[in-house]
Amino acid sequence: MSRKIIVLGAGMVGVSVAWHLLRRGHEVTLMDRREPGRETSFGNAGIIQREAVRPYAFPRDVPTLLRVLPNRSVDIRYRPLGMLRAASPLLQYWLNSGGKRYEQITREWASLIMRCQDAHGPMIEAAGAEHLIRKGGWLELYRHQPDMDERLAEAAEDRERFGVEYQVLDAQQLRAVEPHLSTDLIGAIHWTQPWMVSDPGALVQAYARNFVEQGGTLMQASVDGLAQQDGGWRVSTADGREYEAEQVVVALGPWSGNLLAQLDIHVPLFVKRGYHMHYATAQGAELKHWVMDAERGFLMEPMSAGIRLTTGAELADLDAPPSYRQLAAAEKVARELFPALGSRLDEAPWKGARPCMPDMKPVIGSVSDKSGLWLSFGHGHQGFTLGPATGELLAQMMDGEAPAIDMTPFALDRFRS
């Protein structure tokens, strides 16, 4: 039976939810303060990461913690006040980052990741976005053999358990495929399954256009209120307008918790912020693959706008002023890794925030005591990868069908006991 549904949030997750609901015959309005794909979905590394079956764990070993503590690392930076305000979820995140807890979380997380390409594929085709997709995988670069051996041991286990595919490149083989990288690299892991996207924001926009072409409604408005009423829900916008629907999906990424707090629904959401900048390359030089400096913790991606350098995580308040020291540190190392890296192309660095939960898993599903309210946020580093799979699964749940995988591990109630 067709229902009137409002989806709040037009990032990769929200657009994908709206797209799947529309395909099922519902009357769907997609609402966001900005154009689709202009927030976190715009600034990521542009990889649909089939290999990412292990969620990003918080470092627990003493050497890593001692390295991070001075707050000068490329991969992790922190603001003390932001750490203090998010102390409780960060502590839970740390506790969940090892042992049996992490093993269980990995199994549940992998069940989502393994669906990512099967879910993206039909949307790419329907949106005519094949020109944005490059298949063939990406390279994880190493300078030291013990670090590479440790990662390869995980990779071998992930191949056996989750069907992850990869190849090992020695220094000579790496030099053959990427001749302009630094000569101090001993080799790389070539993750062969992932798909790369030359313009992540453009892919989200293509999905959104296809949503509209099929009859969906796209509305640019800033949501400032959500209230339950007889027969459904009322959404209020900053310009004083109100909209009604039988059901509402909250897919506002890092802003989801602020809206839900109006309904006395409190979620332990915190953010990992990140930055990027685009660069030119020296004449005659080329970076052919997406590459990650595994030991320093940043990525470089040959995108349509230039070489995009994306930083690791910054633990800070969502709205704290930007600090570009982490990007500057990454840029310094990037110029050593890829000496052909040229001048900056953007007027200012981009800043975004990844919505994270203390058990590294998103919140996907209903609110048990508020009929018609559905949630889809908290995907951490992988909202771009997992948006279509999330949209497919949530649409199945909203139509009363048994979802393709067990969705119990992603229910909000795990935080409400």
Nearest to 40 by CA among 357, 275, 224: 275
SS3 category, 198: coil
State the Cα–Cα distance between residues 124 and 394, nearest whole angstrom.
19
10-residue block means of pLDDT along the chain (417 residues)? 94 98 98 95 96 94 86 92 93 96 98 98 98 97 97 98 98 98 98 98 98 98 95 95 97 97 96 98 94 97 98 96 97 98 97 98 96 98 98 98 98 89
Residues 6+ apart with CB under 8 A from 131: none
Q: What pLDDT does 417 receive?
A: 64
What's the pTM value of the predicted model, to 2 decimals?
Answer: 0.97
State the Cα–Cα distance between residues 412 and 144, nearest whole angstrom.
42
Map out the domains of the chain as residue ranges. 1-57+96-131+194-269+359-417
Q: What pLDDT does 1 receive?
A: 76
Nearest to 318 by CA among 260, 377, 274, 364: 274
Distances in Å between the alpha carbon of 383 and those of 7, 37, 288, 375, 380? Answer: 16, 11, 25, 14, 6
User: Are the beta carbons of 2 and 26 closer than 8 angstroms?
Assistant: yes
Consecutive H or E run containing 381: none
On the 0-12 / 13-18 / 19+ scale of CB atoms within 10 A, 180 is: middle
Task: Give the homologous superfamily in CATH for domain 1-57+96-131+194-269+359-417.
Answer: FAD/NAD(P)-binding domain (3.50.50.60)
For 316, phi and psi rounded to 5 degrees? -160, 165
Q: What pLDDT does 188 receive?
A: 98
Nearest to 24 by CA among 399, 387, 389: 399
- Residue 128 DSSP code: T
